[in-house]
Amino acid sequence: MPLVAPTRLDDLVQALAASAFDATFGVSLPAAEFSIQKTRREFAGDRTVVCFPLARHSKAAPDATAEQLGTAMVEAPGPITGFNVVKGFLNLEIAPDYWSEWLMGEAAQDGYGTRPEGTAPHIMVEYSSPNTNKPLHLGHLRNNFLGHSISRILSARGHRVTKVQIINDRGIHICKSMVAWRKFGGGETPETSGLKGDKLVGKYYVAFDQAFKAEVKELVDGGMPQEDAEKQAPILLEAQDALRLWEQGDTDTVNLWKTMNGWVYGGFDVTYATMGVEFDKLYYESDTYLIGKDRVLEGVASGVFDQREDGSVWVDLTGDGLDEKLLLRKDGTAVYMTQDIGTALLRFKDFNDLDRQVYTVGNEQEYHFKVLFLVLAKLGFQQAERCHHLSYGMVELPEGKMKSREGTVVDADDLMEEMFSIARDIAAEAGKLEGLDENAQQEVFQRVGLSALKYFLLKVDPKKNMMFDPKASIDFYGNTGPFILFNYVRGRSVLRKMEAEGIAMPTGDITTPSPDEMEVIGLLHDLPDVIAEAADTYNPSLVANWCYDLTKAYSSYYQDHSILGADDAATRGLRLVLTERFTRALKTGMHLLGIALPERM
């Protein structure tokens, strides 16, 4: 009998289970009451019905409920051809014809469950958000890749997504670089030094720390206590003076601040272009902190916040299980929370249809965002309860943690260039890319190197800390970006040969797939659910590991089965369709990770 393959197998199984349960036990339950899972690899089957919750309705033990329900589902019209029971788990086998019809249907040829933009609420995703006193580093790479990927995943689910960053362009850290440049720079610029602007400014941030430590040592050697010396070091006092002058609008100070920040922005733009990330709108702390200050003072007037005798402003969150939080210092200056309040309010004003904001920030700021969302709620923003902190763990190296002020960070530009170089060396050693000109080769090196870097940083659950190993990330075997790229290129090569030989891609019925083929088809079928879960949980690693599972299954299949050299036309047709769907779906999945796939490598 013909089987009409729906968009989602789980929906069909739920409906069949509900109908069979009613017929068997005389109890009508909503289809949503039937929990459907993918069958675990160690058991035969494709989908599993969890029968433990059903036992109270069937008045039978879970395993007996599963046996009776399985028998009824096999006997009923539909794609269920067999079953087995493991305790209260009913493992169902799906007819091969279902998979072949799904493979030839629209769901396997179009967007794999992606939805048109604008069919889901508007979400703003913040990522990167650097300080303007140093270059971007390895930690920023994970941040940018996470934020950019989740933006694409949310877009695939139909959300209108606005990608932003808040540039931390004010504060004592900026003034430290400014003071060091004045003292030691001799008028050096990016043009005269040959350095990217962000690297030049970062050089003087490190120089400040070196001078500060030297001055502290001199004061301590002269008899001053360490704590006092760290507060009275002359170069630190100069930086504090510079901050006060900046806040007062001193012309010379503000002009230098604009100049040095301009250098940094130019450097950042180059790095972002190499990363392959972009933003729809930029926000600047130097603007938003003033909005935050004004709103905090309004909150005092309305009784939302408390102003103490010394002039400082606080919010009491003890009733919410947190503590009291400072919003304005006694001298009226802003803290980070003040700036973030101002930024959030400005964004809601700029986009009046904004449903929520997603902040891609390291896990050391989890408490900060709990406070921020509570404060926004107290200020009357209903969206606050839907805002989300995309918290991620730190990236470490085998040699330990990085420290910006000591100049021991792994520079993002340097790391990406190292990845390109490793890719170049591997290609040269393997004798690949012969016949491609230098520009074409360089494009492949960059795609392979960048895919290795992005994939390695995205395949780990964001919540987890991770160790980054450049050479392991670019291995062509195992759970790596290059392994996925290599098999995509191999599949595309088969399809090019098919076209060159004038072989037509089947458009109608195809031969019944084998178990090996059904494994690949099953993974293709899962992509819409993977995208949905990744969007719901803000977790790109789900997509990354699906890409690997699909690639691994196809790679094994490719090695065991000749595609173009199949014994008959019907078998060859199925294998070609499977290859085309594999490359199409993999391209979709890797695009959601921000990874572009090459045609050759």
What is the tens place of the pLDDT at every residue in 181-194?
999 999 999 999 99
Residue 357 pLDDT > 80: yes
Sheet with 324-328, strands from edge to edge, namely 306-307, 313-316, 324-328
pLDDT tens for each residue of 96-139: 999 998 898 876 666 676 888 889 999 999 999 999 999 999 99
Residue 453 pLDDT > 90: yes
What pTM did the predictor assign?
A: 0.91
Q: Which residues of 372-397 are buried (b: 16+ CB within 10 A; e: fewer)?
A: bbbbbebbebebbeebbbbbbbbbee
- Side chain identity, residue 43: F
Pairwise CA distance, residues 190 & 201, whole Å: 9
Percent of the chain with pLDDT over 90: 79
Pairwise CA distance, residues 568 & 363, whole Å: 56
Average pLDDT, the chain: 92
Residue 317 pLDDT > 60: yes
Pairwise CA distance, residues 517 & 109, whole Å: 17
Pairwise CA distance, residues 413 & 407, whole Å: 14
Mean pLDDT within 277-294: 94
Which residues lie closer than 8 Å to 471 by C-beta, 6 or more apart? Answer: 422
Q: How many C-beta atoms surround the C-beta of residue 198 within 10 A?
A: 27
Pairwise CA distance, residues 597 & 149, whole Å: 15
Q: How many C-beta atoms surround the C-beta of residue 197 within 10 A?
A: 25
Indicate the Cα dihedral angle 568, 570, 573, 575, nearest 10°.
-70
Among 226, 146, 169, 203, which Cα is nearest to 404's? 203
Pairwise CA distance, residues 281 & 266, whole Å: 16
Mean pLDDT within 66-75: 97
- Side chain identity, residue 592: L
Give the residue ranges of DSSP H helices in 322-463. Answer: 336-350, 366-378, 412-430, 438-458
Q: Which of 140-149, 328-337, 449-458 has the lowest mean pLDDT?
A: 328-337
Pairwise CA distance, residues 3 & 81, whole Å: 12
Per the structure block, which two tokens stand in for 367? 């408490």
Residue 186's region, left for phi above 0, alpha for psi from -120 to 50, else beta, is left
Domains identified in the chain and CATH numbers = 9-94 (3.30.1360.70), 170-276 (no CATH), 415-592 (1.10.730.10)
Residue 334 pLDDT > 90: no
- Determine which helix (DSSP H) or strand (DSSP E) holds 392, and give its type and residue range: strand 388-392
Print the SS3 string covering 551-592.
HHHHHHHHHHCCCCCCCCHHHHHHHHHHHHHHHHHHHHHHHH
Predicted pLDDT of residue 554? 97
Mean pLDDT within 361-365: 95
Which residues lie closer than 8 Å to 175 by C-beta, 6 or more apart? Answer: 239, 240, 242, 243, 246
Mean pLDDT within 177-204: 97
Angstrom CA distances, 71 to 15, 50, 74, 116, 589, stand at 16, 15, 5, 40, 37
Angle between helices 251-275 and 234-248 (to 10 degrees): 100
Parallel, antiparallel, or unpaired: how do β-strands 388-392 and 354-362 relate?
Answer: parallel
- The model's confidence at residue 416, banded by pLDDT at 50, 70 and 90, is very high
SS3 for 599? coil
- The model's confidence at residue 399, banded by pLDDT at 50, 70 and 90, is low
Predicted pLDDT of residue 4? 43
Mean pLDDT within 304-315: 95
| CA 163 to mean position of chain CA atoms | 13
Count of residues in the chain: 601
Please tell me which residue, 35 or 430, carries the higher pLDDT value: 35
- Side chain identity, residue 481: G
pLDDT tens for each residue of 523-557: 999 999 999 999 999 999 999 999 999 999 999 99
Looking at residue 168, what DSSP letter applies?
B
Q: Are 376 and 341 in contact (CB under 8 A)?
A: yes
- The model's confidence at residue 402, banded by pLDDT at 50, 70 and 90, is very low
- The model's confidence at residue 439, banded by pLDDT at 50, 70 and 90, is confident
- Dihedral pair phi/psi, residue 567, rounded to 5°: -70, -30
- The model's confidence at residue 180, banded by pLDDT at 50, 70 and 90, is very high
Predicted pLDDT of residue 304? 94
Predicted pLDDT of residue 6? 46
- The model's confidence at residue 404, banded by pLDDT at 50, 70 and 90, is very low
SS3 for 166? strand
Per the structure block, which two tokens stand in for 240? 């504090």
- The model's confidence at residue 1, banded by pLDDT at 50, 70 and 90, is very low
Mean pLDDT within 60-70: 97
Residue 507 pLDDT > 90: no
